[in-house]
Structure 1
Amino acid sequence: MRLPRDNSLPLRQTLHAQPMPTVIELFLQVVDASPDAVAICSDKEKYTYRDLECWTRDIAVHLRSCGIKSGDVVGIVGTGSKSVAAFLGALRSGCVVLPLDPSTSEGKQKELLQIAEATAKITSIDKKNLDIEFIDATAGKSTLNYYPGQSEEIENNISGIDTAQGKDPAYIIFTSGSTGSPKGILGLHMGLSHFTIWQRDTFGIGLGDRVGQLANWSFEVLLREIFTPLISGATVCLPDDQVLNAENVFRFSRRHHLTVLHVVPSLVRHWLGRKNIDHRIPTTRITFFAGEPLHSELITSWRSKVAASTIVNLYGPTETTLAKFHYV
């Protein structure tokens, strides 16, 4: 189907109308307006926007104190709330983030870190620490001992954080493209802000919305699952299960009353093909499909088995920052 021209996201008009705030600035605006709203949660954890601001500020300061500079590339292995906080904290410190999925082998992670010329890799090592491993073996490791709500606020020299501008790089996502070899796509802050603002405003995402973080951390979908809710006052809901099979996905979605989902057609087809499980997610009001062709029979099946939600089909290569076209 050929999309109408007006379904192209209004990038040029938006960017030239006024300076584009970064996702950090937008997040801090939510902190000021709704500090007690829940920012991220799982079955075992829950953190408010105030908690997350303190947590990410400490991470940003710690990265700076370790000698990591603005513009340095930092890999972050996705392992729940700590990784979300580390992503935000690294951006606040001016770093460029390379998301890494925990299912990716150590060898492959090392290859991607080398291609990206990363300075360090951040991993979660337990419930109270973040482990920062420097790529230069002579620099060793550094551990940040901090857990929001369980430690006193510490005084730090916080100069140099929250200074990123729209033209500055924010993240690297790797795609094999047509060659089969890893190809790093460098995304700017203004591109990330442009999409997340558009998604928030176009679909009315805000306080009370609950967005599932289901995507593999190596895929760009992760960016809209995390940052659209965090600039909107919504809640990012994180599964505790490392492997989300069909039954776990629907149980998790019902348990957390998800209102917004991002999915891939082939994965949805697999989920819906599973027999003898409850597919219903009655709270879901918007479902964003992307990454593959979307056919009418799958839409009909989703609406009849899962939720009578608004269906949005997004299209755009990684190079265009998350999506370029949409069809409702």
Structure 2
Amino acid sequence: MSSSNFIDYVKFCSRSGAGGAGSAHFRREKHVPKGGPDGGNGGRGGHIILRGNSQLWTLLHLKYKKHVIAGLGKPGEGGRRSGAQGEDIILEVPLGTVAKDAETGEIRFEVTEDGEEKILTEGGRGGLGNENFKTATNQAPRYAQPGEEGIEEWIILELKLLADVGLVGFPNAGKSTLLSALSAAKPEIADYPFTTLTPNLGVIAYRDYKSFVMADIPGIIEGASEGKGLGIRFLRHIERNSILLFLIPADAEGIQQEYEILLNELRTYNPELLDKERILAISKSDMLDDELIEEMKQELPESIPHIFISSIAQKGLLELKDMLWKSLNK
């Protein structure tokens, strides 16, 4: 998934349809000189609806939709005939899409299940026809309700990836390489920081045909929670993960120090992220001998399970998958 076709934020004007007016009609029958009221109700205006689609991973298809407009409800007719309902507009969205009010920032809802439909902007109700207003004292009401106006509002859709495991690390920590080694995902990999400009998802095959989903989140740098580097735009994807897999290369200047910086960035962005299960993987460990590994273990934080791995040498990858699966299924 390249940066050109991964879109995780869109803003557009959502306008639902106005309801149709009720009819103020009277029966005109040959042998009934004074026919009663028989005006039908107006049709409901069209809704704007979001529908979850598990086959979508991006909001790209909505990027250029600046206005989404639903159909108008049709007016009622004589003979108690109701007007037709306005056409609903259904927008397919990836799972993990959050709908917000653009002006207030209020979260409306989140779409998390395939096929799930939620009304984003509700259409106006149709007006009642005059047959509804007939009373003992008013046998021939000439009044019918107008339809309700539709709603026009600016909406923001944000995508938070739904993955079981989120990879957290500095740029060039080897996250993309690990994801490609564990799964069929083919993220762009190069020897420079900020290789990953978009989150990449990989389905990790496990024993006995089991699997789980891992997301490679663009590298965090110190100050990301304040908008430095790629900033918090990608930090929000980590919120959806069950487990955070911290990846720190064996040649880092200080593993404990890097871990604390990463942890602080997450804490600054959203303290609740620290409640998630954490595992620490020391990457590029094929360059270490057993004695050096034992020395490094003494410096690692005791509060987090750890493992030494090498994506290139395929070292410790099965054990890593065992650790992740065990944590996911506690």
Q: TM-score, normalised by structure 1?
A: 0.27
Computing the radius of gyration from Cα coordinates, the structure with the larger value is: 2
Q: Give 1 or 2: higher helix fraction.
A: 1
